[in-house]
Amino acid sequence: MNNNKMIYVIDDEKDICQMVSLELEQFGYSVRSFTTGAQACHAIRTRPPALCIIDLGLPDMDGMELVKQLCDKHSVGVMILSGRNSVPDKVLGLELGADDYIVKPFIPRELVARVNSLLRRLENSGPDPKTETRTAQFANLRYDPKTLTLITGDGKQSELSSAEHVLLIRLLKAPKTILSRDQLMGETTGPFDRSIDVRMSRVRKKIEQDPKNPEIIKTIYGVGYILTTDVSWTP
């Protein structure tokens, strides 16, 4: 069982969070728990998960409101976990956009089965939320991820290969932050690998004015790389 999908559990009762996490992790999922809506919101924006399991009775915000927000962005799956077994509540939650509504107390194994079912359905559905479609502007360059096209300040165009694209996107998503080689590689390829250096060299050759003295992407000796400029995204 090598799912590896990210699931967020949002419930103010720590017991529930723990129980759900343990069960899901046994089936190969990566789980993070949150006990307040605010924390969850922030995390969802930063690293959107494949699925959110939400308790309606949160201390700091209306659970329904959170559900609605999530469902409007249409890509992340939403399961409601509630102590209230009333039909109007269920109907409201589901019509608001939730994909399932489970009443407490529930059987952990059934929850897992429903999670599996939903993720299976989500898999071949909707645009991939990870694919960035806005254009990035940085250091008198413009990069359009839709077409993998880079436009320099003086109008020259060049195309990035898909591996170069992934690397550049990771940097653009975390400007002015040191990223280790592992972080830049993601889940691909083995532990000892110098290929990242070569990739970086190829990216630099396309984005730097003088690739021998890189300004935009600096090397942090012994640690990783950093994108030194600000980035603004235009739709």
Partner DNA sequence: ACTGGCTGTTACATTTCGTTATATTTCAGA
Partner DNA sequence: TCTGAAATATAACGAAATGTAACAGCCAGT
List residues near DNA by CB under 7 A.
Answer: 159, 161-164, 181, 188-190, 193-195, 197-202, 204-205, 211-212, 214, 219-224
Lookup: tokens for 184 = 């830049």
Q: What does the CA dihedral 135, 138, 139, 141 come to, rounded to 10 degrees?
A: -10
CB of 36 to a copy of itself, least distance (A): 26
Residue 174 site contact among a copy of itself, DNA, none (CB < 5 to 8 Å, cut-off depends on kind): a copy of itself
Residue 125 or 201 with smaller CB distance to a copy of itself = 125
Separation in Å, CA 14 to CA 36, 65, 80, 113: 11, 21, 16, 22
Angle, alpha carbons 77-105-8 (nearest 5°)? 30
- Report which residue type is found at 84: R
- Of 150, 171, 179, 176, which is closest to residue 230 (Cα–Cα)? 176
Q: What would you report as the CA-atom Rg of the chain, rounded to the nearest whole angstrom?
A: 21
Residue 43 or 174 with smaller CB distance to a copy of itself = 174
CB of 120 to DNA, least distance (A): 25
Contacting residues for 84 by C-beta, under 8 A, at least 6 apart: 56, 103
- Report which residue type is found at 37: G
Residue 35 or 111 with smaller CB distance to a copy of itself = 111
- Burial bucket for residue 118 (CB in 10 Å: 0-12, 13-18, 19+): middle
Lookup: tokens for 41 = 């919101």
Residue 38 or 223 with smaller CB distance to a copy of itself = 223
Residue 47 site contact among a copy of itself, DNA, none (CB < 5 to 8 Å, cut-off depends on kind): none
Residue 2 site contact among a copy of itself, DNA, none (CB < 5 to 8 Å, cut-off depends on kind): none
The contact set with a copy of itself (CB under 8 A) reads 74, 87, 90-91, 94-95, 97-100, 107, 109-110, 112-114, 116-118, 120-122, 124-128, 131, 133, 146-148, 159, 161-163, 174-178, 183, 213, 215, 218-223, 226, 228-229
Residue 199 site contact among a copy of itself, DNA, none (CB < 5 to 8 Å, cut-off depends on kind): DNA
From CA 103, how far away is CA 100, in angstroms rounded? 10
Residue 212 site contact among a copy of itself, DNA, none (CB < 5 to 8 Å, cut-off depends on kind): DNA
From CA 40, how far away is CA 121, in angstroms rounded? 24
CB of 147 to DNA, least distance (A): 12
Residue 57 or 97 with smaller CB distance to a copy of itself = 97
CB of 177 to DNA, least distance (A): 16
CB of 169 to DNA, least distance (A): 13
